[in-house]
Amino acid sequence: MSQPLPAKDQAVFRSIVKFYETKQYKKGLKAADSILKKHPDHGETLCMKGLTVSYLDRKEEAYELVRKGLKCDLKSHVCWHVYGLLYRQDRDYFEAVKCYRQALRIDQENLQILRDLSLLQIHRRDVHGFAETRRKLLQVKSSARLNWVGYAIAEHLCENYELAWKCIDNYENSFKEQDTSAASDYENSELHLYKAAIMEEAGKFKDSLSCLKENENKIVDKIGLLEMQGRLCMFLGSHEEAAGYFKRLVNINTEHHVYALAYMASQPQFSSFWPPLPAPATQVEQSDLCNGTASQALPRSILSFPSTLHPEGMPVFGWLPPKHALKPQRRLIIGRKQHKRRVDTLEPVVALTDEQEDEVIQFFDGLKAEYPKSDSMKRLPLFFLTGQRFKRKLDEYLRSRLRKGVPSLFRTMRSYYFTPGKPQLIEELLLQYVRCLKEDISWFGPLTGESQDPPEMSDEEPPSALLFTLMTLAEHFDFMGETHKALEYVNEAIDHTPTLVEVYACKARIYKHAGDLENSAQCYEEVRQMDLADRYLNTQCVRALLRVDDTQGGMEKALLFSKEPDSQEAANLHDMQCMWYESAVGRSYKRQKKYGKALKQFHETFKHFHDIAEDQFDFHNYCLRKTTLKAYVAMLRMQERLYSHRFYRRAAKDAVNIYLEIFDAKARGEEILTTEGAAAGDEAELSAEEKKKLKHKKKREAQKEAQKASDKPSTGQKPKKVDDDPEGEKLLQQDAMEQCSKIVRTLVQHSSLDAATHVLTYEVFSRQGKMIHCLQALRKLWELGGHDNLHYKLVAPSRP
């Protein structure tokens, strides 16, 4: 054990800690050296010096100094704490926890070490260890608000709901008169909402509603308050009271279709086909069910509501749907084309009678009279109506939008196509419009169910009405799979108005859907040239170029809107976590058999998700300090299903397929052509003069790269990282089966509801001869396919 420092050196040691906390690492290093000149074996100073140099990119030296410091003072809690901080920097959380625990054996009530340990425990999802550490923090310093809030969250995550809300009650009683600032008002508001959320999750709906009513004046998040009150009233069967809350929400946001649908579900006359949201049967179902733990299928109407309004509702932002949302057959034939059914399409539980459809019309007509500018009130009833009622209301809806010229009109109509009979009615209306708009007096024709003469010349429709009708009709025939008719009408629209960008973009989409990717890319390039300031059109052009494997052209155009156009495109877009771009580029390289570059792109996507998972560490302490408790718990639960996001699944599937191709090629004795090998092959075909020119070109490029690397960055800038494997050659040299197994395990753990996960699992383990795993994958596919032995997802794995 090292000897204690004299008073003067103790002050210098404290300055080292201060310099570390304020990120003045060079000053801290200088202060540490001044102590070590006098006391070269002082363990704590050695450890602090090691921690300081670790932030100066001298990792190996840092570990050597800390280990040397530990040898000099093995019983110092500071040395063990610093050792843990070093491991935490390198994301070796298991070793960091061991160091923190060792430090706590020496100093059991050290607040800083307890706090650091609790952060690692929640980051690793050791919720029971987190709760125990938070309990100790509360015992050591019960006067700190943060400790009460942290302990409440810990018990909540451990599903000790009653203890969690009682902890919040004690916190409120202890600190209710200490602070009256605006920040305190927000904190109290969040605490009341969070307490009610805990009660709701515990199944205490009545107590939760009472808590909200008692503290209604103290809660500043009025929208969150009304959503919770409306939901809880539905769970308790108080539908009239729920209707009042959802009506207030409709008043706040008339375009939020979820509020209007919830208000409709609260009306008793609609309960047979659009029932109120049912209360979760158990605490398990009340929790977030993204991984499919629902005990029974729930009404399909729930899928129209997001998970923020009902725990079994549809997740957003690309996560996998809950188990009861999966349908054995999710693809429908509409016209001559197959379409993937959207699982969140509005769909009544049962077919409506004529009287029920009239009630729906009357209900939404009342809302339209109250909110005449709301588009949702005119669009939502169309999901529930059929036949001539649907056609009449759609007729009223389309006329005003075609008259105004709404380019996105077809996108709002697309959901109606999944109901049998509606596509034909839409086509009849659009054809009638085109026919009547081409007459001497331009008009849309008589309203459905009415006889009407053409209007006066002064009341005829504007010329743009025909233009947007032709474009909408072209999109309709494109969706129905009738490409020739779609091209006929879109060309007619272009002849009508050759300067409208949206019509050319529509033509490019038609070519894309028909499989003519070359013409689609050419059309998108024309569109981009028509409006060079439009970022969306530029993005669509990039995607089109990548679809035809023009990766160089796509990369160049992707940087046109970058703030750093001179930088390397890969580094720039990687910093922006542009995952759609990485996926498109990777798939393009895959089609070109450039597997190294393709894997490079997919591994960049993996890194994004790994970074997102690690970035949550910064929020564990921040959210407690700012009392954003509901958002914090939601973030923790989102992180638990992070790897079920579609961008990760897409990259994982493509990467596994490449590794399988590499494995199969090696098994056949074929050689995988690397970038260097391909370049050598191309070079062999050149003449002597061309080879000489190529040699000089490579030399100039090498000198240019060396010059860039030698140039020092300007003051305040970090040196740019140099990619040591730009072609992905190192990824090709890895064990293909080992990489496949690693990716597949992640997919099985986080994306078990995706049928493609189990198809890949079968393909990987069948090559390894692990038949038990193959059978498990087939059984899971059979279950996901609705126990259908002939389901299309079973065909490929079950082939002899």
**Per-residue pLDDT at 721:** 62
Q: What is the 3-state secondary structure (H, E, C) of 192-244?
A: HHHHHHHHHHCCCHHHHHHHHHHCHHHCCCHHHHHHHHHHHHHHHCCHHHHHH
Radius of gyration of the chain (CA): 32
Residue 86 forms part of a structural domain: yes
> What are residue 648's phi and psi, to 5 degrees?
-70, -45
Virtual torsion, Cα 335, 337, 338, 341, nearest 10 deg: -60
Indicate the range of 151-165, 175-189, 440-454 predicted with least confidence.
175-189
Question: For residue 673, is pLDDT > 90?
Answer: no
The CA distances from residue 743 to 148, 729, 776, in Å, are: 40, 19, 17
Question: For residue 292, is pLDDT > 80?
Answer: no
**Per-residue pLDDT at 799:** 59
Virtual torsion, Cα 785, 786, 790, 795, nearest 10 deg: 10
Q: Report residue 157's pLDDT band, with 50, 70 and 90 as the boundaries.
A: very high
Do both 283 and 415 map to the same domain? Answer: no
Do both 360 and 468 map to the same domain? Answer: no
Do both 368 and 394 map to the same domain? Answer: no
Do both 532 and 583 map to the same domain? Answer: yes
Nearest to 267 by CA among 345, 343, 396, 360: 360
What is the DSSP secondary-structure string of 111-138? HHHHHHHHHHHHHTT-HHHHHHHHHHHH
Q: Report residue 287's pLDDT band, with 50, 70 and 90 as the boundaries.
A: very low
Convert the pLDDT of each residue in 519-558 to its tens digit. 999 999 999 999 999 999 999 999 999 999 999 999 989 9
Contact in structure between 200 and 286 (CB atoms under 8 Å):
yes
Count CB neighbours of 615 within 10 A. 10
Residue 36 forms part of a structural domain: yes
Residue 216 forms part of a structural domain: no
Contact in structure between 662 and 599 (CB atoms under 8 Å):
no
**Per-residue pLDDT at 289:** 38
| % of residues, the chain, pLDDT over 90 | 64
| % of residues, the chain, pLDDT over 70 | 83
**Per-residue pLDDT at 422:** 94
Which of 108, 135, 170 is the C-terminal boundary of a domain?
A: 108
Do both 340 and 303 map to the same domain? Answer: yes
Task: Determine the Cα–Cα distance for residues 538 and 562; give it in Å rounded to an integer.
Answer: 12
Q: Report residue 205's pLDDT band, with 50, 70 and 90 as the boundaries.
A: very high
Contact in structure between 762 and 741 (CB atoms under 8 Å):
no
Do both 358 and 434 map to the same domain? Answer: no
Which of 340, 373, 406 is the C-terminal boundary of a domain?
A: 373
**Per-residue pLDDT at 706:** 58
Which of 576, 598, 614 is the C-terminal boundary of a domain?
A: 614
**Per-residue pLDDT at 116:** 95
Residue 783 forms part of a structural domain: no
Question: For residue 296, is pLDDT > 50?
Answer: no
The one-letter code for the residue type at 55 is Y
Residue 225 forms part of a structural domain: yes
Q: Report residue 294's pLDDT band, with 50, 70 and 90 as the boundaries.
A: very low
> What are residue 331's phi and psi, to 5 degrees?
-120, 135
Residue 331 forms part of a structural domain: yes
CATH code assigned at 531? 1.25.40.1040
**Per-residue pLDDT at 683:** 58
Specify the number of domains making up the chain: 3
Helix axes 463-479 and 501-514, enclosed angle (nearest 10): 10
Convert the pLDDT of each residue in 427-456 to its tens digit. 999 999 999 999 878 888 888 877 777 777
For the chain, report the end-to-end CA distance as a whole number of angstroms. Answer: 70
Question: Coil, strand or helix: which one is 590?
Answer: helix
Where does residue 77 fall: left (phi above 0), alpha (psi -120 to 50 degrees), or beta otherwise? alpha
Do both 573 and 516 map to the same domain? Answer: yes
State pTM to two decimals: 0.88
Task: Determine the Cα–Cα distance for residues 439 and 465; give it in Å rounded to an integer.
Answer: 13
Contact in structure between 594 and 658 (CB atoms under 8 Å):
no
Residue 171 forms part of a structural domain: no
Do both 382 and 460 map to the same domain? Answer: yes
Task: Determine the Cα–Cα distance for residues 797 and 417; give it in Å rounded to an integer.
Answer: 33
Q: What is the largest CA-CA distance in the chain?
A: 105
> 3-state SS of the chain: helix, strand, coil percent to 5?
70, 0, 30
Residue 699 forms part of a structural domain: no
Task: Determine the Cα–Cα distance for residues 478 and 485; give it in Å rounded to an integer.
Answer: 8
Question: Coil, strand or helix: which one is 52?
Answer: helix
Task: Determine the Cα–Cα distance for residues 768 and 664; give it in Å rounded to an integer.
Answer: 12
DSSP structure class, residue 217: G
Q: What is the 3-state secondary structure (H, E, C) of 410-430?
A: HHHHHHHHHCCCHHHHHHHHH
DSSP structure class, residue 339: E
Question: For residue 674, is pLDDT > 80?
Answer: no
Do both 240 and 389 map to the same domain? Answer: no
Which has the higher per-residue pLDDT, 324 or 356? 356
Do both 603 and 499 map to the same domain? Answer: yes
What is the DSSP secondary-structure string of 255-311? T-HHHHHHHHHTSGGGTTTSPPPPPPSSHHHHS--TT---SS---GGGGGSBTTT-T
Which has the higher per-residue pLDDT, 324 or 144? 144
Do both 225 and 250 map to the same domain? Answer: yes
Convert the pLDDT of each residue in 189-204 to its tens digit. 999 999 999 999 998 9
Query: What is the rounded average pLDDT of the residues 260-279?
Result: 90
Task: Determine the Cα–Cα distance for residues 747 and 642; give it in Å rounded to an integer.
Answer: 11
Do both 348 and 381 map to the same domain? Answer: no
The one-letter code for the residue type at 194 is Y
CATH code assigned at 52? 1.25.40.10
Range of the domain at 241: 221-291+298-373
Task: Determine the Cα–Cα distance for residues 222 and 218; give it in Å rounded to an integer.
Answer: 10
Query: What is the rounded average pLDDT of the residues 675-692?
Result: 61
**Per-residue pLDDT at 362:** 96
Query: What is the rounded average pLDDT of the residues 268-276?
Result: 90
Count CB neighbours of 509 within 10 A. 20
